[in-house]
Amino acid sequence: MGRPPCCDKIGVKKGPWTPEEDIILVSYIQQNGPGNWRSVPTNTGLMRCSKSCRLRWTNYLRPGIKRGNFTDQEDNMIIHLQALLGNRWAAIASYLPQRTDNDIKNYWNTHLKKKLSSNSDQENHHHHHGASTSSSSSGATTIAKGQWERKLQTDIHKAKQALTEALSLDNKSTTSWQQHQQPPQTTTIPPIHHQPVVLPPPPVNFTATTYALSAENIARMLPNWLKNSPKSSQTSSESLGPLNHQFPSPPASDHGFKNYSNSEVSETTSFFQDESKPEMPSLSFLEKCLVDDAAAQGHEGLMNMCLEENDDLF
């Protein structure tokens, strides 16, 4: 069919967002909740298209977004989720609620892809001197189907294993899955770990180039942005953790919100999930793979872990 782009209109501003625009957008969402993006430019007077507003919010202004410094654990999760799910960044991002799909996509394209390809180069180099089973080698076409299938199975198995490791690490560390992340499509309320509020870093100058780092600045400019939260569960000063649990209570109209609970954590989480984390292959599917795998290998610990989690879920 081919629809005209939504942003073709004359007078629609493009390019980097200014602090003023951010404030307007945040204020509006603070009052009305995210969603109904079509009405945002009209109601706020922002000369931006609805898409741009949504993107700015989901990729940048949304509370709880962690920027930069991907941990090894996150690396592993992304790598192996990518192996399992492909380039479905939104789905992958739903397992890392502190990261946006855009961030993950960028990180994958700029770091992990290189990392992996250099690794596989090394692997190929090794294989070159031994029995080659790599499908990415130049001899891939000569690999027998059975070999290829075994290779595929091995890859899937590796991905499962790494995901298992990532999950169990998370379980031990009490920081990510239990504390900040909620497996999608669940209504569980993870345990809340009350920790001291960490003040944001010193003010960031509003230059055109540094402004992009400034969700913190939004917090500064909008006292109400922080006001509603007496506590935080984040300690990392580099993260925007303090914002994570400080999103105000949902408006009475409940616009764009579906699943609020009493828990501030689940409030934030459902907020993410409902607003910007769409349907995806559920974790339980992945967990099922892991459980199946664990069962096949007699990994009682993992099975218990998964079952316990599932018990919590239902």
Partner DNA sequence: AAGCTGCTCAACCGCATGGAC
Partner DNA sequence: CGTCCATGCGGTTGAGCAGCT
First and final CA of the chain: distance in angstroms? 44
Q: Binding to DNA (CB under 7 A): which residues in 174-233?
A: 207-210, 212-213
The minimum distance between CB 93 and DNA, in angstroms, equals 7
Q: Which tokens is 169 given?
A: 């690490």
Q: Which residues have a Cβ under 8 Å from the Cβ of 50 and sit 6 or more positions away?
A: 6, 37, 38, 39, 40, 41
Of 6-14, 116-124, 233-241, 285-293, the segment contacting DNA by CB under 7 A is 6-14
Cα(240)–Cα(71) distance, integer angstroms: 15
Cα(312)–Cα(306) distance, integer angstroms: 10
The minimum distance between CB 249 and DNA, in angstroms, equals 20
The minimum distance between CB 285 and DNA, in angstroms, equals 16
Cα(18)–Cα(2) distance, integer angstroms: 32
Cα(62)–Cα(64) distance, integer angstroms: 7
Q: Is 38 in the site for DNA (CB under 7 A)?
A: yes
Q: Binding to DNA (CB under 7 A): which residues in 81-140?
A: 87-91, 101-103, 105-107, 109-111
H/E element, 22: helix 19-32
Cα(195)–Cα(239) distance, integer angstroms: 14
Task: Name which of 5 and 11 has its Cβ closer to DNA.
Answer: 5
Of 60-68, 145-153, 198-206, 223-231, the segment contacting DNA by CB under 7 A is 60-68
Please report the DSSP string for 145-156 in residue order: HHHHHHHHHHHH
Task: Name which of 59 and 124 has its Cβ closer to DNA.
Answer: 59
The minimum distance between CB 11 and DNA, in angstroms, equals 13
List the x/- string, 251-290, binding to DNA by CB under 7 A: ------------------------xxxx------------
195 has which bridge partners? 232
Task: Name which of 47 and 152 has its Cβ closer to DNA.
Answer: 47
Interface ranges with DNA (CB under 7 A): 1-3, 5-7, 13-17, 35-39, 48, 50-52, 54-56, 59-60, 67-68, 87-91, 101-103, 105-107, 109-111, 207-210, 212-213, 275-278
